[in-house]
Structure formats: structure tokens, C-alpha cells
Structure 1
């Protein structure tokens, strides 16, 4: 199994405000993946577990909300592992927008 794509996104919002902003923008996450589509989500405390359907594959991901950063992990299926660099780059560009 390929290594997950891991990104830490700094913020100055505090944990509660960051969680609220991410909760309000989680629907946009699907557009960060090639062929992104439906996003299924569930919260477990301050961790958002979500699945994005991309190119016919299910991509399981987690966002852990911390006081000064959000830790994102994206588990790519083998077919999408080829796009790991592009997905990491897109996350680095687009994820901070969820916190604005």
C-alpha cells in the first residue's frame, strides 16, 4: 500500500474556529482530487474522517484539527498513488482556503 499523502496546514484561528470553518467547507474537498466527486464525512471529536470518490476509487482521508495547525492524511489507492505529488501540491494550495 502506498504511503499516505501528509500535509500540515498552519492557522491562527484556534481549534474551535478552525473546526467550524472546515465543517463549513468540507464539500469543496472533493474538487482537490482528480475526478473528485461525492464526499462522505463523519466527525470523531476534532478529527474529520471523510471519503472522496475519485476516478472510480474511494480515497479515505483524515483532518485532525489542532490549535495552530490542521494535520491532513490522505490514503491513496494504488491507482491514484501516481497522482500523490499533484494531490499534495493541490492540498498545500487549496486547503488553507478552507480556513479563511
Structure 2
């Protein structure tokens, strides 16, 4: 399996506000994934770590969001069929993640 893909989403919200926004907007995530019929299952592993299991376009991937004071670190385990697109996926996570995090409340 390829090495994890890591994307840092910088913010100036503080840890508590960043977590609140992630929790509040988690339901919007499937609409930002390709294919339109994505399934997203989430579990809070700890106070500031969210685990995601995502199924879209016949592929499954897992991701972890580590919510820190100034960044949210997104670590993704991409399946081999998506690993060759790691750069494009990282760019999309950076763009869409920042929009979801910093968008209007």
C-alpha cells in the first residue's frame, strides 16, 4: 500500500472553533466528492481526531483529521487505484477543505 497522503489546512480559528466548524459541516462532505453518490462514515476517535471512511466511485479510502491550534492535518490512505492521483486529490482536499472550514457560518 502506498504511503499516506498528508494535507495541512492552515487556519487561525483556534482548535475549539476549528473542531466546531468541522463537526457542523461534516454533513456537507459527500456533496464535495466526485460521483455524487458518496458515502461518508465518521467517528470521533478522541476530542480532536476524526476518522472518516469514504466510499465513492467504486473506491474506498480512510482519512483522519487531526484538529490542531493552527492547522487541520488530513491524513489519507488511498487505495492503489487512486494513489496515482494523489497530487490531484491533495489539491482538491486543500481547496475544498479550506472552503468548508473558512466559509461563512
The TM-score normalised by the length of structure 1 is 0.89
Choose from 68, 71, 85 the match for 1:69: 71
Moved over 4 A (4+): none
Instruction: Determine the structure 2 residue equivalent to 1:48.
Output: 50
Instruction: Determine the structure 2 residue equivalent to 1:10.
Output: 10
Instruction: Determine the structure 1 residue equivalent to 2:94.
Output: 92
State the Cα RMSD in Å: 1.5
Q: Do the aligned partners of 1:52 and 1:60 also contact (CA within 8 Å) in 2?
A: yes
**Paired residues, what number?**
100
- In the alignment, structure 1 segments of 5+ residues that lack a partner are none
